[in-house]
Structure 1
Amino acid sequence: MHPFALPGLRSLNLHAKLMLALAILVAVVAGTSAYLLIEHQRAQKFSELEERAARISDLFSRSLALPLWNVDRGAISAQLSALSPNPEVVQFTVTAVGYGVVAEVKGARRADPSSDVVRVRPIEYQPPGDAPREKLGEVRVQLSRAPAMQAMRDARNAILATIAAMVATLYAVTLVLLNGMVRGPINRLEEMVDRMAGGNLDARCAVESDDELGRLAARVNAMADRLRESTARLYDSEQKYRSIVENALEGIFRLHRNGWLEEANPAMARLLRYDSAAALVAAGTGGPDKRPFSPKQVEDLFARLKRDGEIAELDLRLTRPDGTAIWVQLSARGVAHSHGDIVRLDGLLADVTARKHALENLRRHRDELEVEVAERKRTEQELRASREELRQLSWHLEVIREEERKRIALEIHDELGQLLTALKIDISLLQMKLAGNPDAQGKTHAMRELVEKTMWMVRNVANHLRPAALNFGIVSALEWLAEDFNGRHRIRCSVVTYGDEPVLEDSRATAIFRIAQESLTNVARHSRASRVVLTLRSGEASIDLEIRDDGCGFDLNAVSAGHRGSYGLLGMAERARLIGGALSIASSASSGTVVAVRIPLSDDVRATFAS
């Protein structure tokens, strides 16, 4: 425990504590020094007294040998009386062997004989010659310590008086010095600190020296400067905070655990239709029916704070004084007491009534939209089913059309061809019979040329309805198509094949042929090309057909937008899809157009196509 923490010393000022400490320190040091000095002197006095008793007893032991031999009592008493006036002497006693006490001299009586110093020495006589020493008796010397102790008491009193005088002098000098060097500056420092504590932050302590008090005054001044700056910043922050709170568009409030409002800003008052924030706070301190938050809402809010630590964007329904209900979005944090319990919350709320209504309308529209979307999905499914049915019908019609073309081509080729052949034979026979009639010969010759031209036209029509070359494979059909294209147009067309000739179903070979035929028709009409190449690659997994020209190309975006000229391309893509393939088109002004179709040859696709 600190010595100045005692209850009786707490009320003392610093000056008194310093003086008390100085007095105690000097007293302890001086008292200890005096005690040690006196103890040293006493030990020295007692040692000297014992040495004196030993010297006296030794002296008497030697000087009284002859008088005691002669039993000269007078001489003995005379020697003893010579030293008896000494104040330390209590008693000198000489005893003889066989006689008892021969002489005895006493000094002053002492109160405490137990502290006396006693020495006993034998008295021996040395006869002449070689005779042994003979003990004649004893001498007893008894000296008192009382004079020495009295002298030490006198010396102690003198030392204590001297110490007391020194302490008083030192105390007085120190008191004067402390008053001038410590107490005065401290009092002035206290006065300045009191003025600063009273709010006068412009007050400053005078720095009178470079010692600890001067440095303390300088630090107090620095502290005052920082305190003034901090106070100014705090004031600015408070003003900014107050401005933010007062001018905020959202409601800001502090709610007590009991349910009444401690603080609120004008925005919250406007939100709840109160004249002012003060009126709102005053209403909040009333009964539960006057408060903006119901008791159940207060319990729920504080329970949520205790569980989650915060409230984030909670939708809450409040009632205004006129009975109208509004929806607000509340966010809050708890303010805990020193023992840890949440006693109030600081909250922020915004009016979301319009948003709530809009959300309800949006939900209603969403439900309606979901119904419409479901209806639309059903319609789309029906449309997709109808489109698929239409595609199947289109493919069926295309198959029927190809079959019809094939039948018509066969009938034209076989029946009409046979009739024309018979007619040609008859005209040849008729021409032989009319050999003598030049006019008839010319007429029959013209008829024969007409029949031959008709036969060529019939074969051409039949081939365009369905090329006979398809009966010999897709490669023969493409070569016939290229040859026919070369004969009709000034664009050089060639066929390049890779791999073995594929074995295809008639419908699939026809579809590939029609795609190539439509591509060449587009080249002839639009490309302004000088060369076109048909490349057929046959592999184990697929058949790839590529029609490449060096023409002017076309705009794919226009085709994708459904331009009138894109129907042929759509038909080509549909034909490829129906046989399980895929059509791709690449076109640019610098490299012409490439139409590529890939038909997979997997068992699944073949089985699907066959079905």
Structure 2
Amino acid sequence: MLQTLLRARFPRSLHAQLMLSLLVLCTLVAGTSAFFLLEHAREGRIAELDERANRIADLLSQSLAQPLWNVDRDAITRQLNVLKPNPEVVSFTVTATNYGVLADASNAPMPDPQARVVRVRPIEFTPPGNAPPEKIGEVRVVLTRAAADRGFEAARAAVLGTLALVLAVVYVTTFLLLKHLVREPIRRLEEMVDRIASGDLDSRCAIESSVELGRLAARVNVMAERLRDSTASLRESERKYRSIIENSLEGFFVLDRNGKLCDANPAMAQLLGYRDVQGMITAPRDDAGAVHAKPQPFSSGKTAQLFAMLQLTGKIAGLEIELTRADGTAVWCQLNARGIRYDGAAPQCLEGQLTDISGRKQAMEILTRHRDQLEEEVRERTRTEQLLRHSREQLRQLSSHQESIREEERRQIAMTIHDELGQLLTAIKINVSLLKLALSQGAEWQQKVGDIGGLAERTIDIVRNVASHLRPAALNFGLLSALEWLVQDFTRHNATVCTFLLEGREPSLSDDRATAVFRIVQEALTNVSRHAQASHAEVVLRCIHNHFELEVHDDGNGFDVAKAIRGDSYGLQGMQERARMIGAQFHIESRDGPGSTVRIVFNETTENVSRALPADSELR
């Protein structure tokens, strides 16, 4: 409060402040000096009054000894009246030891105790001879300080008057000097600085002296020179900057926190579909309730998101953002921006650059789509190559296995023909020779003929059996007859009961495809016979829409299909390969538990079967 009051009351002018400061300083110095001088003079006068009172008291104590000894009142009174006219004297009192007050001379009323100067001296009489002095009375001197004070007041008034006159002369003289030496040069300097501040950079201050104000004027002139050069450089830089921004092919803009564009360049307006920059900046907003409001490129939510990113990272670099053009269409841009701060607060505006990347975005999308398509094709090709390599390996192993099977079949056929068929033919030959001998000798021949017939029948059975294993004759009458014969033959030679069931019509297949289906079923029943330990097996052929499904199911022990494949189960591989050769889907369902199911799905033609079944390589 005191500081505010002082600022309000204190003069604003430097000249007035200096004069007031000088007046206060001189007053304090002169007043303090006068006070101490007057006090010193007053103390000197009081000391003189005390000294005078001592001298008067000593004088009276000596001069009144003889009159008092003689008790001469008149002589005492005359001496007192001699000193009584002095203005400092208030009263003289002489007292005898045995008689009391002998004389009392008063010159003025008794003042206050603080204004009195009292001295009391004993009066002694010295008798003749060597007798000691004898006190015979005392004298009391009372002086007043009033006269000294009156003289001091007059002197103080004269001193203060003189001091005031001197201060007035010094003040006026200093006022005129400061006005001439300080106030006028400062006023002229202020006028020049105001002209420079208003834009007149060619104005210069007159240097009238070499003292501080002259040096200040020289520095102001130097500052004006540098300011003019800086202003010219700044204008040139602004011209270059404006030229670069105006002619740039990329959009530059300044955006505030409310989503309003404060400034932009023509490329920005062209990018967003506006005629000019002013039309883009002054375009009515959607949220302003305008009838023909155009969509703003920066919505409130998008603006808040940009400022949040700016607050978090300090800048925005390489941000791909989708903006809305004046006609409502979308355009993809790359945004680079930084914040504009005022007074160290949070960014109030966003200064950014926009680059149209719609074409690049579209090309990237096409490239990404082609890349995804190429990756899918590469994956498909890789998978196909893996399947092909796997199939080749399986085919090689299967070919080797089939070759070994063929060699085993040849060996079995050779052994059968050599051991059984050869023995039978040899027995027939021997019997024929014996029959000839018997006929030539006329012996019994009917028994031999019967033995030869039996041997011939056994030979025929062996030949039929070998022929059936090489190719069942039932295949000549269709797949259905072959499957029925296979089921009957399996039941006749195994303890497992096997049944065949047809659901729908019979498929019409070529000889090769029918043979392949027959061999798959034959291999499946062979596996049931060898490994399943089943009590019942079932072969089902059903017609479903335009394709056929054949299942071989048993209630025996299940097995781990994947483990069997990894264990080089050539029987399963052979079934898969036969199914692939005729364009069928092959599937096995089996677990460690009761039952297994082998399923193939095929068409009457060689087209691949498209059905929601697992792939050939998928086994559960």
TM exceeding 0.5 = yes
Q: For 2:368, which of 363, 366, 372 is the aligned residue?
A: 363
Q: Does 1:201 align with 2:206?
A: no
Q: How far 1:264 moved relative to its partner?
A: 1.3
* Separation in 1, partners of 2:374, 2:213: 84
CA distance in 2, matches of 1:37, 1:156: 9
Report the Cα offset of residue 7 of structure 1.
2.1
1:97 corresponds in structure 2 to: 97
Contact 1:126 1:133 in 2 (8 A): yes
* Corresponding residue of 2:253: 253
Contact conserved, 1:93 with 1:105, CA < 8 A, in 2?
A: yes
Quick one: structure 1 residues 2 and 173, their matched pair in 2 at CA, closer, same or farther if it must change by over 3 Å? farther
1:293 paired with 2:282, answer no
Residue matched to 2:166:
166
- Whole-angstrom CA distance in 1 between matches of 2:206 and 2:393: 103
User: Any conservation in 2 of the 1:326–1:351 contact (CA below 8 Å)?
Assistant: yes
Q: What's the TM-score, normalizing by structure 2? A: 0.59
- 1:493-520: CA deviations, max 9, x gaps? xxxxxxxxxxxxxxxxxxxxxxxxxxxx
1:144 aligns to 2:144 (yes or no): yes
* Secondary structure of the structure 2 residue equivalent to 1:283: coil
The residue matched to 1:109 in structure 2 has which SS?
A: coil
Q: Which residue of 2 aligns with 1:283?
A: 283
Change in 2 beyond 3 A, CA 1:226/1:344: same
Q: Distance in 2 between matches of 1:182 and 1:4?
A: 27
Partner Cα distance (1:111, 1:27) in 2:
36
Which among 374, 377, 380 is matched to residue 372 of structure 1? 377
Q: Structure 2: how far apart are the matches of 1:197 and 1:286?
A: 44
Q: Supply the distance in 2 between the matched residues of 1:115 and 1:325 (Cα, whole angstroms).
A: 108
- CA shift, 1:5, in A, is 8.7
Q: Is the 8 A contact 2:295 2:324 kept in 1?
A: no
CA contact (8 A) 2:196 2:203 kept: yes
In the alignment, which residue of structure 1 is the partner of 2:315?
A: 310
Q: Name the structure 2 match of 1:63.
A: 63
Unaligned stretches of 5+ in structure 2? 289-293, 398-620
What is the SS of the residue equivalent to 1:127? coil
DSSP-derived class of the 2:326 partner: coil
Q: Distance in 2 between matches of 1:128 and 1:4?
A: 87
Q: Give, in angstroms, the shift of residue 354 of structure 1.
A: 0.2
Measured at CA, do residues 340 and 185 of structure 1 come closer, stay the same or move farther in structure 2, by a change above 3 Å? Answer: closer
Corresponding residue for 1:220?
A: 220
Letter paired with 2:308 = A
Question: 1:309 touches 1:334 (CA, 8 Å); kept in 2?
Answer: yes
Q: Which amino acid aligns with 2:333?
A: V
Tell me which residue corresponds to 1:82: 82
2:124 matched residue in structure 1:
124
The 1-side partners of 2:11 and 2:287 are apart by 51
CA distance in 1, matches of 2:61, 2:237: 106
SS at the partner of 1:298?
A: helix
- 1:163 deviates by 0.7
Residues 311/8 of structure 1: CA separation in 2 closer, same or farther (3 Å cut) = closer
Equivalent residue, structure 1, for 2:357: 352
Aligned partner letter, 1:234 = L
C-alpha contact (below 8 Å) 1:110/1:146 kept by paired residues: no
Q: Secondary structure at the match of 1:290?
A: coil
Shift of 1:339: 7.1
Number of residue-to-residue matches in the alignment: 392
Per the TM alignment, residue 122 of structure 1 is displaced from its structure 2 partner at its CA by 0.4
Q: For 2:324 and 2:76, how far apart are their aligned partners in 1?
A: 132
How far residue 133 of structure 1 moved from its aligned partner, in angstroms, is 1.3
8 Å Cα contact 2:186/2:213 also seen in 1: yes
Structure 1 segments unaligned to the other structure (5+ residues): 393-611
In the alignment, what sits opposite 2:47? Answer: 47
- Compared CA separation, residues 225 and 29, structure 1 to 2 (3 A): same
- What SS does the corresponding residue of 2:169 show, helix, strand or coil? helix
Is residue 2:331 matched to residue 1:331? no
Q: Give 1:204 deviation, angstroms.
A: 0.9
Most deviating of 338-347 and 290-299: 338-347
Give the conservation status (yes or no) of the 8 Å contact 1:89–1:144.
yes
Distance in 2 separating the partners of 1:315 and 1:3:
58
Q: Which amino acid aligns with 1:157?
A: A
Find the residue that maps to 1:36 and give its secondary structure.
Answer: helix
Question: Is residue 296–residue 326 contact of structure 2 (8 Å, CA) maintained in 1?
Answer: no
| Gap change, CA 1:284 and 1:293, over 3 Å in 2 | farther
Give CA deviations for 1:77-103 in whole Å, capped at 9, x if unaligned.
111111111110111110101211111
Letter paired with 1:360:
E
Distance 1:304 1:114, change over 3 A: closer
Look up the SS of the partner of 1:199 in the other structure: coil
- 1:320 aligns to what? 325
Deviates more, 1:365-374 or 1:189-198: 365-374
TM-score (norm 1): 0.60
Shift of 1:164: 0.9
**Residue 370 and residue 8 in structure 1: after superposition, are their counterparts in 2 closer, same or farther (change >3 A)?**
closer
Distance 2:105 2:41 in 1: 30
For the 8 Å contact 1:34–1:160, the answer to whether it is kept is yes
Alpha carbons of structure 1 residues 49 and 4: separation in structure 2 relative to 1, 3 Å: farther
- Please say if residues 113 and 144 of structure 1, whose CA atoms lie closer than 8 Å, have aligned partners that are also in contact: no
Higher mean alpha-carbon deviation, 302-311 vs 76-85, is at: 302-311
- Matched-pair contact (CA < 8 Å) for 1:205–1:220: yes
For 1:28 and 1:185, the matched residues in 2 are separated by 30
Letter in 1 for 2:64: L
Q: Distance in 2 between matches of 1:126 and 1:277?
A: 129
Residue in 2 that maps onto 1:108: 108
